[in-house]
């Protein structure tokens, strides 16, 4: 399964790229938690960090399918 991942803000700086294609093997269904763990492991990010993860532009989706576009944003805080 191949999924396009897009990074924003500080995550883009950590990954040193704006997007990439992840190939996931031997998984029939993956979800946003799986992607979060995978990205944290790939880039040495604390897995307690909170992200907004949108699938095809929707924040409410959890299940990810072949060809989906996953956008990962850090939580924005105002002041």
Percent with pLDDT over 70 in the chain: 92
Per-residue burial over 5-32, b if 16 or more Cβ lie within 10 Å, else e, is bbbbeebbeebeeeeeebeeeeeeebeb
Sequence-distant (≥ 6) Cβ neighbours of residue 78 within 8 angstroms = none
| 53/24 Cα distance (integer angstroms) | 17
Q: Domain range holding 6?
A: 2-74
Number of domains in the chain: 1
For residue 63, give the CATH number of its domain. 3.10.20.30
Q: Is residue 70 part of a domain?
A: yes
pTM greater than 0.85 (yes/no)? no
The answer to whether 17 touches 7, Cβ cutoff 8 Å, is: yes
Segment 47-75 mean pLDDT = 87
Q: Is residue 79 part of a domain?
A: no
Segment 7-28 mean pLDDT = 88
């Amino acid at each position: 399964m191949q999924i396009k991942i897009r990074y924003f803000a500080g995550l883009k700086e950590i990954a040193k790229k704006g997007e990439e294609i992840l190939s996931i093997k031997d998984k029939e269904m993956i979800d946003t938690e799986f992607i979060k763990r995978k990205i944290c492991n790939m880039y040495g990010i604390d897995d307690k960090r909170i992200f907004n993860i949108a699938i095809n532009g929707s924040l409410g989706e959890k299940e990810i399918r072949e060809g989906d576009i996953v956008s990962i944003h850090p939580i924005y805080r105002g002041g």
